[in-house]
A and B are shown apart, each in its own frame.
Chain A
Amino acid sequence: MKVPLSLLLEFCDPGLSAEEISSVLALSGTEVERVTRLGVEDSSNFVVGVVLTADQHPDADRLKVCTVDVGAPEPATIVCGAPNVGAGQTVAVALPGAVMPVGMMIKKAKLRGVESSGMICAEDELGLGKGHQGILVLAETAGPAGRALGEVLPLDETVLELEITPNRPDCLGVYGVARELHAATGAELKSAPWENDLGSAGALDGIKVSVQDSEQCRIFTARIYEGLSAAVTPPAIAAHLTAAGMRPISPVVDITNYVMLVVGEPLHVFDLDKIDGDLTVRAAAAGETVATLDGESRDLVEGETIIADAGGPTSIAGVMGGARSEVGPDTTRVLLEAATWHGPSINQTSARLGLRSEASGRFEKGLAPVFASRGQAFASQLFGEIYGVAPAAGTVVVGAVGEAHTIKLSHAKVNSLMGSELTAERITGPLERLGFTVSVDGDVFSVEVPLDRLDVARDVDLIEEIARIDGLEKLGATLPTSSTGGGRLTRQQKIRRQVQDALVSSGCFEAAGWSFCAPGLSDRLRLASDDSRRNAITLVNPMSSEESVLRTTLLGSLLDSAARNAARGAAVIRLFETGPVYLPSEDGLSDEPQRFGAVLCGPSTRPDWRNASPSTVDVHAAIGVIGQVLDSLHCEWRIVPVAEPEPFLHPGRSGVIEIAGRPAGWVGDLHPLVSTEWGLDGGVAFEVDLNAVISASPEVLHYSPVSAHPMVGQDLAVVVDAAVSAAELIEIAEEVGSPELESVSVFDIYRGKQLGENSVSVGLRFAFRADDRTLTEEEATAVRQRILEALQDRKGAQSRG
């Protein structure tokens, strides 16, 4: 909400600068988004002018030569380049000597041979806004010519743009803000502008109003003004409206806007002579339409609240009035409506029609019914001031402003919740300055809530008022004295951190992926039509179809991130992510198992001066990373070939990751079609279930004895059929090598013509050791022989010596 500072100060002037007032408001709960200085440094030499003639410049297509009455004996000749200038307009003129906001002084000057004595100004040239479509055309009533422009435009104004929180619709009028300023500073609050009501209660002749749904319309009030004739909006009101961002239009419209600005209550005015019969507030029927003030014909949705007369819908309640009963220059009798509409319904209708206005924005917040009577009272004063008319006897009131209620507030509770030691005075003072009526009974305050404070219903609501007005800066800063001793990570959280750290240690960067993905990802990953990962949770209202389902694998966003880096020329891409995937569950929610996964592209070791061109990553590079993670957590794991490989992996170079004997993920070279799809050069990937790691990782590590006797190392190279895996050979060696075999590893793999096409030589390196004695070379050789024989028997292995 834009609040002209001069208007705010009319109601409460604490003698502070705009910045100080902003700070006071911000620290008491009214955020000031912006402080804007409007107008010019010095408003002398800015006057109202009336364009008498506007003719084409003889030597310039885009210029016009105007004669302008500026209140001097002779009209001024002013050359103007604005396309919209025309004879008869009332305009803002900067005369020679005027200093524009940008610092330029206006001087007499020849423009293409014609002397120009001033400038007709656009909105932005006067520091009033951004408008530069053409010159600012003022209402005729801004005259007469020669009047100081500062009397009709806010040439010396500061505007506070306030963010009113949704619980405080009472601050949607300047007087409500003034009350906040009063409460926070103690400066005097002038009496409310609605206090002296010139109208009267009782039945109103000439119109009947019925309300069919009191939930949609908590109160509907109306007054009639008759005998309206030509009138002028007082310049100060016009200037305030302009500063608040509302263009002065006509006195009657300006009255409604000014009441809304000061009180917060939007009003609507009907030409009483154009209302057909009585008014009914009702729900629109299907197929009804209404012609609105903006000249459009609007289709109504069944159930939307409208005001209708005998001729059908005449206004969309709280959103926009109808053309049929619009006031015009000939209007002499008006019906002034002030009502309280159901906020959420107004929100819905205004959003549907794209008609957000100052009025609908206020109604959406849920105004208190008492605003309607306040609005009527202030409007009656303005009609008297501007048109010299009093309201016709009586006021339509359908509904009620409500009754004040009282809250009991315990002194001890205030200090307990705030952690303070406030005296009774520091409790009653803020409440009374805010308009609450407080009486004290021992340790308990009885607090009567003003009718406009619908947000205050409980003692905690009052405590908030006290806390913010007494000042949160006075509050101490303490720490809770109790504790549960629960300040530690859960096992799951600890292991997740360890997994992340191990992935970092193995030279990977963590990526932040999106939980959303495109439904087409499944196809891009070549998932089979019955793959369960196609069964993703779908958003009802995604931002776009590309973000319309929740991920069932981490691979998609990892590939996307890898692809972006590859496109930017990154030679080494090693990205991982830890996080949930989202799998539909029977209860309509989701299972969200945590996973970790990675995509690696580029060299398998970091190129350096000893090895400038290392081989590129392959599945074993990925297995190396997995091993670093799982070994650091002491998990038992292995990689197992599978009959049905993942469709996005190379079928001959991928496998299942088994942790503690159960499948827990996949690893492999990316399928070449998938690499190509993402524009990657090769690449490998894996994804592992974090829960499998958590269950497999021992909670506590226990000591096992280390032998004091020396190790005997021996190698064995065997030739086997290429289909025999190294893991099979190792398994046999471990089985028959016990107990002397301490460890076995593969130290060499060789394929060559002399071995034959389907054979491979596998070099095994054994470490033999006995716990209780020094093992002799002969004993070790015997075990090695035992292993060799087993490999010969079971796998047809041939010793290479």
Chain B
Amino acid sequence: MLERISQIVDEVKAAVVAATTSAELEELRIKWLGRKAELPNILRGVKDLDPSERGPAGKAANEARVELEGAIDTKMASFAGAELELRLVEDAVDITLPGHPQQFPGGLHLLTQTMREIEDVFLGLGYGIAEGPEVELVAYNFDALNHAPHHPARSPSDTFYVGDSVLLRTHTSPVQVRTMLVTPPPLYVIVPGRVYRRDDDATHTPQFHQIEGLAVDEGISLADLKGTLLAFAKAIFGDEREIRLRPHFFPFTEPSVEVDVSCFACNQGVADGDRCGLCKGTAWIEILGAGMVDPNVFASVSGEQPAYDPGKVQGFAFGLGIERIAMLKHSVPDLRLLYDNDIRFLEQFA
């Protein structure tokens, strides 16, 4: 009896080792451990044995059953892992298909992106952002900004009027005046916004966007203006950029300058062996106008804000066109594209 048990154990263990599928193992389990199998029969027959044999035979048969169950389970577990992997491999999908659900693309307009980028540069330099009305008083748009009574910009051929003394602001500069009237120096602000001029051609739209900058304190200098605009140019157009100041004329600054940034599309005016199309071979690109705030501008507010006594404070101001910066930086060839809102244009900058 004990010998038979030992034989069964050896035989089944060998069969378990030889088994290659979980189905074979299941067959082995039924054949050797199932209800009608030999080993369970032996166990069931133990009670009929001679009492002296009952103990050893029952123990051996039980141990054999436990051992074989364990062997089959262990082998079964190893098969289950492998077969699961196999099933998973067969259960493959095409992962090159797009995600689901597809989200609609969206994006900020290039003008907003450019405006924010410039705003963030000046926020980092410690400037606040001021805003003001677009329907503006002639007094703030021209008079307080030292425009002579007959300055051509005042002409109805250049400026949109809403009434005798009310117009659509032609620049964001009137917000300089409005801000100084309510905020004593030191003052560091930029002013983004829509402005309007009666121009409509290949390079002008009657509505466009500007950012104005104003810094007023004791001892603010032209060199400070240069350093500030250099920091701006590097932030927007790249750290390798240089700027140069060219003397110019604006009614509300003295001295006045136009500011060029070194061309970022060529080397000294030459790109791919040809004259650079962006800077027209000059190696410089005009980006903005600036200057030291004219004392007459301070005088226009110092009646109400005596701290702006032109004898005490100095300041610089600058103004740039967002459209121009956006077009230069992103190679947009035509101003009209910015206002057409063609989705194929918009999604290029999303």
**Minimal Cβ-Cβ distance residue in A for B163:** A588
**Minimal Cβ-Cβ distance residue in A for B254:** A460
Residues of chain A contacted by B217 (CB below 8 angstroms): 480, 482
B223 near A418 (CB under 8 angstroms)?
A: yes
Q: B-facing mask of A189-217, CB < 8 A → 1, else 0?
A: 00000000000000000000000000000
Residues of chain B contacted by A608 (CB below 8 angstroms): 98, 100-102
Q: A-facing mask of B237-248, CB < 8 A → 1, else 0?
A: 000000011111
A468 beta carbon closer than 8 Å to chain B:
yes
Residues of chain B contacted by A580 (CB below 8 angstroms): 134
B278 beta carbon closer than 8 Å to chain A:
no
B54 beta carbon closer than 8 Å to chain A:
no
B222 near A610 (CB under 8 angstroms)?
A: no
B257 beta carbon closer than 8 Å to chain A:
yes
Residues of chain A contacted by B160 (CB below 8 angstroms): 539-542
Q: How far is the CA of A268 from the CA of B223 in the complex (A)?
A: 47
B137 beta carbon closer than 8 Å to chain A:
yes
Residues of chain B contacted by A539 (CB below 8 angstroms): 160-162, 168
**Max count, chain B CB within 10 A of own CB: residue among A343, A477, A506:** A477
Interfacial residues of chain A within 95-123, with CB under 8 A of chain B in the complex: none
Interfacial residues of chain A within 533-559, with CB under 8 A of chain B in the complex: 537-543, 547, 550
Residues of chain A contacted by B131 (CB below 8 angstroms): 493
Residues of chain B contacted by A609 (CB below 8 angstroms): 97-98, 100
How far, in Å, is B113 (CB) from chain A's closest CB? Answer: 9
CB < 8 Å: which of A463, A476, A610 contacts B223?
A: A476
B135 near A537 (CB under 8 angstroms)?
A: yes
Comparing A23-31, A243-251, A329-337, the segment that makes contact with chain B is A23-31
- With A461-B254, A564-B341, A575-B341 known to touch, is A503 a contact of B106 (CB < 8 Å)? yes
Interfacial residues of chain B within 157-208, with CB under 8 A of chain A in the complex: 157, 160-163, 165-166, 168, 186-189, 194, 196, 198, 200, 206-207
B277 beta carbon closer than 8 Å to chain A:
no
B127 beta carbon closer than 8 Å to chain A:
yes
How far, in Å, is B273 (CB) from chain A's closest CB? Answer: 20
A472 near B247 (CB under 8 angstroms)?
A: yes
- With A419-B224, A510-B109 known to touch, is A463 a contact of B255 (CB < 8 Å)? yes
A420 beta carbon closer than 8 Å to chain B:
yes
How far, in Å, is B120 (CB) from chain A's closest CB? Answer: 9
B343 near A515 (CB under 8 angstroms)?
A: no
How far, in Å, is B5 (CB) from chain A's closest CB? Answer: 53
Q: How far is the CA of A461 from the CA of B291 in the complex (A)?
A: 12
B346 near A478 (CB under 8 angstroms)?
A: no
**Minimal Cβ-Cβ distance residue in B for A573:** B343
Q: How far is the CA of A463 from the CA of B246 in the complex (A)?
A: 15
- With A488-B128, A572-B104, A609-B98 known to touch, is A417 a contact of B162 (CB < 8 Å)? no
A507 beta carbon closer than 8 Å to chain B:
yes
How far, in Å, is B245 (CB) from chain A's closest CB? Answer: 4
Interface of A is mostly: loop
CB < 8 Å: which of B106, B228, B246, B314 contacts A509?
A: B106
A486 beta carbon closer than 8 Å to chain B:
yes
CB < 8 Å: which of A489, A490, A505, A590 contacts B106?
A: A505
A511 near B346 (CB under 8 angstroms)?
A: yes
- With A416-B221, A580-B134 known to touch, is A468 a contact of B123 (CB < 8 Å)? no
Comparing A37-45, A163-171, A226-234, A699-707, the segment that makes contact with chain B is A163-171
Residues of chain A contacted by B43 (CB below 8 angstroms): none
A62 beta carbon closer than 8 Å to chain B:
no
Residues of chain B contacted by A510 (CB below 8 angstroms): 107-109, 112, 346
- With A417-B314, A573-B343, A592-B135 known to touch, is A540 a contact of B156 (CB < 8 Å)? yes
- With A418-B221, A467-B255 known to touch, is A543 a contact of B227 (CB < 8 Å)? no
- With A484-B186, A608-B101 known to touch, is A460 a contact of B292 (CB < 8 Å)? yes
**Minimal Cβ-Cβ distance residue in B for A608:** B102
A409 beta carbon closer than 8 Å to chain B:
no
**Minimal Cβ-Cβ distance residue in B for A603:** B104
B314 near A416 (CB under 8 angstroms)?
A: yes
A785 beta carbon closer than 8 Å to chain B:
no
A166 near B227 (CB under 8 angstroms)?
A: no
Q: How far is the CA of A513 from the CA of B255 in the complex (A)?
A: 36
- With A592-B134, A610-B100 known to touch, is A166 a contact of B338 (CB < 8 Å)? no
B126 near A486 (CB under 8 angstroms)?
A: yes
Chain B, interface size category, equals 35 or more
CB < 8 Å: which of B102, B206, B292 contacts A606?
A: B102
A347 near B152 (CB under 8 angstroms)?
A: yes
Q: How far is the CA of A460 from the CA of B255 in the complex (A)?
A: 7
CB < 8 Å: which of B105, B107, B124 contacts A487?
A: B124
- With A168-B249, A483-B126, A588-B163 known to touch, is A564 a contact of B340 (CB < 8 Å)? yes
Q: How far is the CA of A49 from the CA of B19 in the complex (A)?
A: 117
Q: How far is the CA of A102 from the CA of B20 in the complex (A)?
A: 92
B24 beta carbon closer than 8 Å to chain A:
no
A561 near B341 (CB under 8 angstroms)?
A: yes
A473 beta carbon closer than 8 Å to chain B:
yes
How many residues belonging to A are interface residues under a CB distance threshold of 8 Å? Answer: 92
Residues of chain A contacted by B295 (CB below 8 angstroms): 458, 460
B272 beta carbon closer than 8 Å to chain A:
no
A464 beta carbon closer than 8 Å to chain B:
yes
A174 beta carbon closer than 8 Å to chain B:
no
CB < 8 Å: which of A26, A489, A543 contacts B206?
A: A543
- With A490-B129, A508-B106 known to touch, is A543 a contact of B166 (CB < 8 Å)? no
Residues of chain A contacted by B26 (CB below 8 angstroms): none
Residues of chain B contacted by A723 (CB below 8 angstroms): none
Interfacial residues of chain A within 567-584, with CB under 8 A of chain B in the complex: 568, 570, 572-575, 579-580, 582
Residues of chain B contacted by A497 (CB below 8 angstroms): 116
- With A458-B295, A509-B343 known to touch, is A483 a contact of B188 (CB < 8 Å)? yes
Q: How far is the CA of A468 from the CA of B219 in the complex (A)?
A: 20
B136 beta carbon closer than 8 Å to chain A:
yes
B112 near A480 (CB under 8 angstroms)?
A: no
A479 near B196 (CB under 8 angstroms)?
A: no
B328 beta carbon closer than 8 Å to chain A:
no
B246 near A589 (CB under 8 angstroms)?
A: no
Residues of chain B contacted by A488 (CB below 8 angstroms): 123, 128
A691 beta carbon closer than 8 Å to chain B:
no
- With A485-B126, A487-B124 known to touch, is A480 a contact of B188 (CB < 8 Å)? yes
**Max count, chain A CB within 10 A of own CB: residue among B137, B186, B224, B343:** B343
CB < 8 Å: which of A167, A479, A482, A507 contacts B104?
A: A507
Q: How far is the CA of A484 from the CA of B130 in the complex (A)?
A: 14
Residues of chain A contacted by B126 (CB below 8 angstroms): 483-487
Q: How far is the CA of A45 from the CA of B318 in the complex (A)?
A: 55
B256 beta carbon closer than 8 Å to chain A:
yes
B350 beta carbon closer than 8 Å to chain A:
yes
Residues of chain A contacted by B109 (CB below 8 angstroms): 509-512
Q: How far is the CA of A512 from the CA of B221 in the complex (A)?
A: 37
Q: How far is the CA of A504 from the CA of B350 in the complex (A)?
A: 9
A509 near B255 (CB under 8 angstroms)?
A: no
A29 near B248 (CB under 8 angstroms)?
A: yes
Q: A-facing mask of B120-150, CB < 8 A → 1, else 0?
A: 0011111111010111110000000000001
Query: 29 A-B contacts, Cβ less than 8 Å apart?
Result: A417-B222, A419-B224, A420-B223, A463-B254, A464-B254, A468-B255, A473-B244, A475-B222, A480-B215, A480-B217, A482-B186, A488-B128, A490-B129, A500-B112, A503-B106, A505-B106, A506-B106, A509-B107, A509-B109, A509-B343, A512-B338, A512-B341, A515-B207, A537-B135, A561-B341, A590-B134, A592-B133, A608-B100, A609-B97
The 4 closest A-B pairs by CB, nearest first: A507-B104, A419-B223, A419-B221, A29-B247
Chain B positions within 8 Å of A, measured between CB atoms, are 97-98, 100-109, 111-112, 116, 119, 122-129, 131, 133-137, 150, 152, 156-157, 160-163, 165-166, 168, 186-189, 194, 196, 198, 200, 206-207, 215, 217, 219-224, 226-228, 230-231, 244-249, 254-257, 292, 294-295, 314, 338-344, 346-347, 350
In the complex, besides A479-B125, A480-B217, A542-B160, 8 extra interface pairs with C-beta distance below 8 angstroms are: A419-B221, A486-B126, A490-B128, A504-B107, A512-B339, A515-B196, A541-B156, A592-B135
